[in-house]
Amino acid sequence: MTAQEMLRTLGNCSCAQPYKFKESNYKTPPINWFSRMKTKRSLFLKSLLFLFLLALVSGLFVILPCYIASSVLGKTLLISMFPMLLVTLSWMAPAWIFFDKRKLVLTMTVGMMPLRIMFVLGFVYLIITHFPMIHIATLGVGMMGHWILFFIAETYLMIQYGKLPRTAEEQPD
């Protein structure tokens, strides 16, 4: 069967019952923006507390033993924590603020990645040029380890915000 014949056959088909559009009387309930804002704030504060607990665990169980073993290694791992903490916070804060503003949420979270990468590269350049005792491999491994550790808090926030009911309208200013 050729395409022409198939189109001709399908063009002559009719349904058993014609489609009747029924208007729904369902109205979406009004959104209580104040309670939604309180819910978002509590989720953000929980994930922020979780992030700082992860930083404390990293400090006590990774950085402190490495510092006891070698002071240069401990200092390098401690220095590698702060840019990753700032990168994580620079994602979590806009996700909290702009979650219900659809035009800005992707711009402020994913769209700002080049600036975050430039910040981290500038930080690495600054540390390497001013502190020659710090090894770049240790700094890179420490930064990647902290990024993976802090990504747990980011993922927690994404999962919790994903459970919030989606709205058809944007949050008013």
| Domain locations along the chain | 43-163
Instruction: Give the number of C-alpha atoms closer than 13 A to the C-alpha of residue 81, restricted to the C-beta side.
Output: 18
Q: Is 118's pLDDT higher than 80?
A: yes
Residue 87: count other Cβ atoms within 10 Å of its Cβ. Answer: 23
How many whole angstroms separate alpha carbon 133 and alpha carbon 116?
Answer: 25
If you average pLDDT over each of 8-12, 65-69, 164-168, which comes out highest? 65-69
Range from 10-19, 76-85, 98-107 carrying the lowest mean pLDDT: 10-19
pLDDT band at 117 (very low <50, low <70, confident <90, very high): very high
Residue 62: count other Cβ atoms within 10 Å of its Cβ. Answer: 18
pTM here is 0.75
Residue 82: count other Cβ atoms within 10 Å of its Cβ. Answer: 13
Residues present in the chain in total: 173
Instruction: Give the number of C-alpha atoms closer than 13 A to the C-alpha of residue 149, restricted to the C-beta side.
Output: 23
Say what the pLDDT of residue 19 is. Answer: 57
Tokens of 39: 């819910």
Chain-wide mean pLDDT for the chain?
A: 86
pLDDT band at 164 (very low <50, low <70, confident <90, very high): confident
Between 169 and 35, the higher pLDDT residue:
35
Q: What is the mean pLDDT of residues 111-122?
A: 92
Q: Is 120's pLDDT higher than 60?
A: yes
What is the H or E stretch that residue 65 is in?
A: helix 64-69
Question: Which whole-number Å values give the CA distances from 158 to 16, 19, 31, 84, 97, in the listed order?
Answer: 46, 41, 21, 18, 13
pLDDT digits (tens, 9 = 90+) for 36-86: 889 999 999 999 999 999 999 999 999 999 999 999 999 999 999 999 999
